[in-house]
């Protein structure tokens, strides 16, 4: 029996720097660690060089990459929606997969309806640094109404009864009941029906949960195929030796049988016609809370760089750069007073082991720290 092991997924577009570990067989960037380090005190995490993610949750990325070539026949950049995206694990996995396969020719809309969770999602997307990810916070029905037929793929990791989290979260087990399963299954069908108009005909629905309930997994994907109009993609199972099971419509990972927690993933292709998108339809209609790259803003006579720009893959190298040691990097991330003798005055990009952490304005005797307060390390360093 496998005990739960800590997983991380490296950012291939930031040098794949991060903790060393055993490869996750279904993720080219996933690693299984032998023990849990103190991630908060690793500057590379704050630089967006890797994301802490359970290895089972990486399985959705494998299924997406498996079907991605079937989507690449469109004569425009691909459009993908991560529907229930917080805190950002699948979004960052999808963005790396899309950038590897498509270069810059894609748009990934990462949506989270709960505003508090959307704020966490926005920060994690900013750290990851891909400028082609748009973060929104709207109800799935709004997306279906505003962007009809717009997306080539929708990834829906929907709220569920959470049986796959029982080992990790005793509260999930205490809250479970048959009535909760029934409620979740109905809510999942509503979510799928609401967003369905946004998926083009021939587009891919990737459906995932962290439960073992057939009514929330295979049965709901079968319902979507029959009632909404789709063709279920036959699953494969090259990872049976790692404990992955094959079900009627997808793959099931159970804690104790795989290195991580519980997960179910399946996919279908939409066969029903979708309304044609409007000529001016686009992510801006969803009032995004993060969209593209903002280099900064003019404040008086000063142009102040945006903190996210330091972390972006689109950073163009406009500012002098300074390499910090670990102690200095942690002081910067803690928002402590930082003195940089000998460094040029003005705005500087600070790096740790070659990876950008953020900006300061060096005044000589002291520095103004541009790190957002919400991202600072709160524990003692």
Q: Which two tokens stand for residue 19?
A: 């903790």
Distance CA 95, CA 89 (A): 10
C-alpha 311/C-alpha 333 separation (Å) is 14
330 Cβ contact list (under 8 Å, min separation 6): 41, 43, 377, 381
Rounded distance between C-alpha atoms, residue 377 and residue 381, angstroms: 8
Active-site option among 160, 210, 233, 249: 210
Q: Residue 198 CA to chain centroid, in angstroms?
A: 20
- How far apart are alpha carbons 34 and 20 in whole angstroms? 9
Question: Can 102 be counted among the known catalytic residues?
Answer: no
What is the 3-state composition of the chain as percent helix, strand, coil, each rounded to the nearest 5? 35, 25, 40
Q: Which residues pair with 154 in a beta bridge?
A: 81, 205
Length of the chain, in residues: 381
Which residues carry out catalysis?
Answer: 210
């Amino acid at each position: 029996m496998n005990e739960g092991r800590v997983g991380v997924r490296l950012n291939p577009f930031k040098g794949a720097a991060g903790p060393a570990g055993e490869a996750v067989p279904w993720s080219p960037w996933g690693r299984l660690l032998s023990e849990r380090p103190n991630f908060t005190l690793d500057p590379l995490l704050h630089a967006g060089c890797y994301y802490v993610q359970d290895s089972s949750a990486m399985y959705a990325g494998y299924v997406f990459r498996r079907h991605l070539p079937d989507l690449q026949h469109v004569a425009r950049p691909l459009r993908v929606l991560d529907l229930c995206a917080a805190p950002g694990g699948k979004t960052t996995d999808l963005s790396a997969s899309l950038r590897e396969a498509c270069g810059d020719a894609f748009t990934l809309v990462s949506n989270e309806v709960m505003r508090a969770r959307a704020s966490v999602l926005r920060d994690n997307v900013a750290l990851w640094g891909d400028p082609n990810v748009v973060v929104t916070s709207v109800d799935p029905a709004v997306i279906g109404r505003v962007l009809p037929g717009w997306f080539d793929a929708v990834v829906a990791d929907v709220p569920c009864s959470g049986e796959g989290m029982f080992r990790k979260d005793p509260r999930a087990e205490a809250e479970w009941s048959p009535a909760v399963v029934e409620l979740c299954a109905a809510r999942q069908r509503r979510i799928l029906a609401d967003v369905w108009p946004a998926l083009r005909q021939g587009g891919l629905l990737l459906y995932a949960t962290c439960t073992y309930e057939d009514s929330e997994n295979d049965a709901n994907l079968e319902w979507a195929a029959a009632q909404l109009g789709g063709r279920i993609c036959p699953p494969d199972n090259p990872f049976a030796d790692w404990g992955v099971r094959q079900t009627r419509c997808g793959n099931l990972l159970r804690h104790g049988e795989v290195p991580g927690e519980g997960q179910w993933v399946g996919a279908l292709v939409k066969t029903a016609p979708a309304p044609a998108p409007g000529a001016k339809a686009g992510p801006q209609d969803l009032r995004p809370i993060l969209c593209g790259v903002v280099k900064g803003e003019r404040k008086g006579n000063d142009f102040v760089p945006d903190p996210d720009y330091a972390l972006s893959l689109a950073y163009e190298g406009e500012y002098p750069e300074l390499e910090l040691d670990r102690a200095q990097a942690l002081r910067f991330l803690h928002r402590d007073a930082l003195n940089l003798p000998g460094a040029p005055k003005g705005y500087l990009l600070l790096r740790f082991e070659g990876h950008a952490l953020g900006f300061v304005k060096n005044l000589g005797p002291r520095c103004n720290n541009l790190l957002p307060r919400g991202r600072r390390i709160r524990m003692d360093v």
